[in-house]
Amino acid sequence: MDHQTVCCRSFLPRAREAWLLCGGADALHREPMTPSPDLPGLFTWTGALADCPLHPTILWSEGGGQTFQAVDPYSFPPHISGFDLHLFGEGRHWHAHRMMGAHPEVRDGIPGVRFAVWAPGAERVSVVGDFNHWDGRSHPMSVHGGSGVWELFIPGLPDGALYKFEIRNRESGQIFVKSDPYGAFFEMRPNTSSRVFASRGYEWSDDAWLQRRSAPNAWKHRPMSIYEVHLGSWKRGVAGRFLGYRELADELIPYVRDRGFTHIELLPVTEHPFDGSWGYQSTGFFAPTSRFGTPDDFRHLVDSAHRAGIGVLLDWVPGHFPKDAFALARFDGTALYEHEDPRKGEHRDWGTLIFNYGRSEVRNFLLSSALCWIEDFHIDGLRVDAVASMLYLDYSRQANDWIPNEYGGNENLDAIAFLRELNRTIQGNHPGVLMIAEESTAWPGVSRPPETGGLGFTMKWNMGWMHDTLAYFQLDPIHRRHHHNQLTFGMLYAYTENFVLPFSHDEVVHGKRTLRGRMPGDESQQHAQLRLLYAYQWTYPGKKLLFMGQEFGQGTEWSEDRELDWYILQYPLHQGMTTLVRDLNHLYRNEPTLHAAEFEPEGFAWLDCDDASRSVLSFLRRGGDSQMIVVLNLTPVPREDYAIPAPHGGLWTVRLNTDSEFYGGGSRGSLQARAEARPLRGFTHTLRLDLPPLAALILAPG
């Protein structure tokens, strides 16, 4: 064939007739394409090069009188650069999500969608969807050499088009149909297809917030009170309908601001197929769940929070993923994202698979997921779930069910290296963004820099403090004298990490009851002890976290299937509880004494931690030039004329009494007292106070 002619072929498996649209823009005409006698669906046109556009349009009929047309996708060359592929193969492509997945774009004036997927074990990968009858013969992709990255640009796809990848394994010939690992949007469960999402270019209005956030290490000395939320069950609409992201922006954000919280922490909104997993078994690591709206709707929720002065944290789960056949598990017929050996690649307890952190492309996947939420959705921090399960090769395993590392130890060296890289990358590029570890063991240096041997997180949940505290409070007060050390022991390690004090969703499910339900006694005593517990949490060194519903004394265990028990707010004790939480938050935020030195030993001193016989604790909080005294009476016995040490003389006034009638108490106890110059327990002065039963007093000078 000479250079003046060209041959155009198109494979249209359902077509009966096909035509090529030829000629210039002013003189377009249809030229019939010749069907192949040997391969049904293959059509060919041969003609003058001048008559064939650079990007030919094919028309075809499938019978019934209807005609379809599309621009030939194979007239567009591959777009992904060699440099991108090099970074991806080395595990240094921080923004792999901008290369992989489905991206609406315009090529040579023609709108379409560029698809890319990593499937090195495949001999064929096709894009299938509602636009091609889910037929893998229609849109096979091309592979970039040995990278395992497949790519195809398909012109003319509409926003919202459903798609998956059909993958034929090279060795077995098996065919798998998978959702997009890098998908930006998904169908509403139980359907599992990915959706093309063409953002309209969301216009953020939170520049001032981001600028304030970016001050390095400012979070250490700022108050941080976190309201943990499961969006699907905080509040529901008519007939149990989910509230959308935009509705939640209108209702949740003002509520959180009114209660005085500084941040919300969302249980995972990464797309997930099963409501009962609460989002912790994610299949869409780059996509806000479609249960509540579009990705831009989610941006609006975050933006609204920032405009209201509320930070947004996201629970993020790089420790494991579910075995669902439509998602990551054996993605191309091989153990691609997971380990082949189940002794390294499977969580026995959870029935999930463990990421292979030693594989460059998997590290890319997770690292770019984290950066996507921070950069594309303006998330202020990630709470990394189940870090302990990542650190230990023998986590929750029998003795013969794990493989030691190369040195014979039980540490997962690849996971450790990944976590350090993750924290270095995020904090190095986004100062002020928080990385919080849910880590339940005594692993040293979780919130210390990698260069000193730490993991590099900014903070860690204090699970030991939480367990000891709740174990103590659920005791009958008559027995508490024998367990006094459960409240004092935590101070021995309080400054080994930067701690968050969590009363999270995990403490109010699976038969554990609510926080109020754990307290002994009648309803009035339960409320009194819950108020006491919150005063202890808010005045103890460390950032604060409280799961939704506990701020008003939720009566029943949390369930993802229903909204919170909002109706109980009509009752005075519950009204008092939410008033107390609001007042504690405002006191904590407004008084540097309570937040300026939460991670430094100079911010705290015991006044008397030894009175186990009467179950009374007293301590001093310091911040800047100011001081506050906190006294906890942990029994239902009033303590009159009770002596505690004081750091100096003068008048001390009660700033908050959890027994106040405003909170549902009896308004007992001292209002103020003058410290006398009588040494006590190493301090120069003594205060004598009347302590109300099951209550806390917070005092300040003056």
Query: Active-site residues: which are they?
Result: 385, 438
Strand spans (E) along 324-461: 346-347, 352-353, 381-384, 434-437, 459-461
Quick check: 272 and 281 in contact, CB under 8 A?
Answer: yes
Runs of H (alpha helix) within 392-484: 413-429, 463-473
- As a three-state string, the secondary structure of 181-245 is CCCCCECCCCCCCEECCCCCCCCCCCHHHHHHHCCCCHHHHCCCEEEEECHHHHCECHHHCECCH
Rounded to 5°, the CA angle 676-683-589 comes to 90
Q: How far apart are CA 68 and CA 71, in angstroms?
A: 11
Tokens of 203: 């216009």
Q: How far apart are CA 47 and CA 132, in angstroms?
A: 28
**H-helix or E-strand spanning residue 298:** helix 295-307
413-429 vs 360-371: helix axis angle to the nearest 10? 40
Whose structure tokens read 């943990």? 228
Distance in angstroms (rounded) separating the CA atoms of residues 431 and 428: 6
Instruction: Give the whole-angstrom CA distance, residue 315 versus residue 225.
Output: 16
Closest by CA to 679, choosing from 637, 645, 634, 635, is 645
Picking from 678, 671, 676, the residue whose alpha carbon sits closest to that of residue 699 is 671
Outline where 318-386 has alpha helix (H).
342-345, 360-371
Pick the closest to residue 557 from 498, 505, 479, 488 (CA basis).
505
Strands 142-143 and 149-155: antiparallel
Question: Residue 532 is which amino acid?
Answer: L
What is residue 437's three-state secondary structure? strand
Report the residue count for the chain.
Answer: 702
Per-residue tokens: 154: 């398909």
CA dist 228 and 225 (Å) reads 10
Q: Given 3-state DSSP classes, what are the helix, strand and coil percentages for the chain, each rounded to the nearest 5?
A: 30, 30, 40
Distance CA 479, CA 294 (A): 53
Q: To which residue do tokens 């556009």 refer?
A: 53
Answer yes or no: are the C-beta atoms of 283 and 324 closer than 8 Å: yes
Helix (H, G, I), strand (E, B) or coil at 148: coil
Count of other CB atoms within 10 angstroms of residue 319: 24
